[in-house]
Amino acid sequence: MGEVFDAKRIKEELVQWIADYFWSNGTSQTKAVIGISGGKDSSIVAALCKEAIGKERVLGVIMPQGYQDDIDIAYKLCETLDIPCLEINIQNAVQALYTEIENANLELTTVATFNTPARIRMATLYAVSGIVGGRVANTCNLSEDWVGYSTKFGDSAGDFSPLSDLTVTEVKEIGRELGLASIFIDKSPVDGLCGKTDEDNLGFTYAVLDRYIRENICANQKVKEKIDNMQRQNLHKLRPMPMYKLS
C-alpha cells in the first residue's frame, strides 16, 4: 500500500507552484486562461489559480460545440468562484473546417471528428490568451494521460499543468480540500463532444485505473492488459516530438 495522500499539503504546494510559475512567466497582470467545462479538472484548476494569483487574473472560457445541455454547471462554477468568464461557441468554426475538408474530397473519419473540436478549443484558448495577455492552463490529470485519454495538441496542450501528476481520485480530494461543491467534483466526466462519459469510452472506471497506477493492482486481467496497451500506444502524446539531429 502506498502512503496516504495528504490533500491539504498537496493543495498548498499546488497553489504555491502556480504562484511561482506566474512570477517567473509573466507580469503582475498575466492571467490564467482556463477552458471551463464544469467538470472536476477545469473547476479545480480554476479554484487553485484563484487562490494562487487572485480571481481578477483568472479567466474562464466556456466553449460549447452547438448546444451543450450541462453548460449551466460551467457558468455556475465561474459564479461560485466569482471569476470572469466568456462563451465562445466553436460549432461554426468546426463545421467550416469540415466543409473545407469535404470540399477537398476527403471523407471525415471518427478520429477526425473526435479530435478536431478539441484542437479548435485549444486554438481558441490561445487566441484569447494572446488577446488578454495570459497563460493557458492544461487541465489533464495523470489517469487520463496514463491511457492517452486526451487529444494531442488539443486538451493535452497548455502552458502549465497543475494536475498532471495526480490521479482522478487524488484530484477529487484536492477539490474537496478547496471546498468545492460535489456538483463540480463528482459529476460524471464527459468530453462534451461524443455524448458518452469518459468511463464509458474507456471501458473501465477511474477507480480501477487509479489503483493500478498507484498500487499496481488490477484484479481483472483483461482490463490490466487493456490499460497497458493503451499506455504503450499513447506514450507519444506525452513525450517530446522526435527530432532528427545532424551527426
Domains assigned to the chain: 7-237 (3.40.50.620)
What's the CA angle centered on 131, arms 130 and 133, to 5 degrees?
Answer: 65
Q: CA of 57: how far to CAs of 46, 51, 94, 128, in Å?
A: 10, 10, 29, 13
How far apart, in Å, are the Cα atoms of 91 and each of 110, 141, 231, 245?
17, 26, 31, 41
Query: How confident is the model over 121-157, as pLDDT tens digits?
Result: 999 999 999 999 999 999 999 999 999 999 999 999 9
- The more confident residue out of 192 and 80 is 80
The answer on pLDDT for 192 being more than 60 is no
In this predicted structure, the answer to whether residue 234 has a pLDDT above a threshold of 80 is: yes
Using alpha carbons, select from 63, 102, 68 the residue that is nearest to residue 86: 63
Eight-state DSSP code of residue 196 = S
pTM score? 0.93
Q: What is the DSSP string of 39-66?
A: SHHHHHHHHHHHHHH-GGGEEEEE--SS
Residue 25 contacts residue 135 (beta carbons within 8 Å): yes
Bridge partner residues of 32 (DSSP): 58, 135
Q: What percent of the chain has pLDDT over 90?
A: 89
pLDDT-wise least confident of 98-107, 194-203, 210-219: 194-203
Which pLDDT does position 189 carry in this prediction?
Answer: 65
DSSP string, 100-165: HHHHTT----HHHHHHHHHHHHHHHHHHHHHHHTEEEBP---HHHHHTT-S-TTTTT--SB-SSTT
Q: What's the pLDDT band for 216 if we cut at 50, 70, 90? A: very high
In DSSP terms, 137 is beta-bridged to 160
Cβ partners under 8 Å of residue 108, min gap 6: 98, 101, 102
Give CB contacts under 8 A, 24+ apart, made by 212-218: 213/142, 213/143, 213/146, 213/167, 214/2, 214/167, 215/1, 215/2
* Residue 193 and residue 114 in contact, taking contact as beta carbons nearer than 8 Å: yes
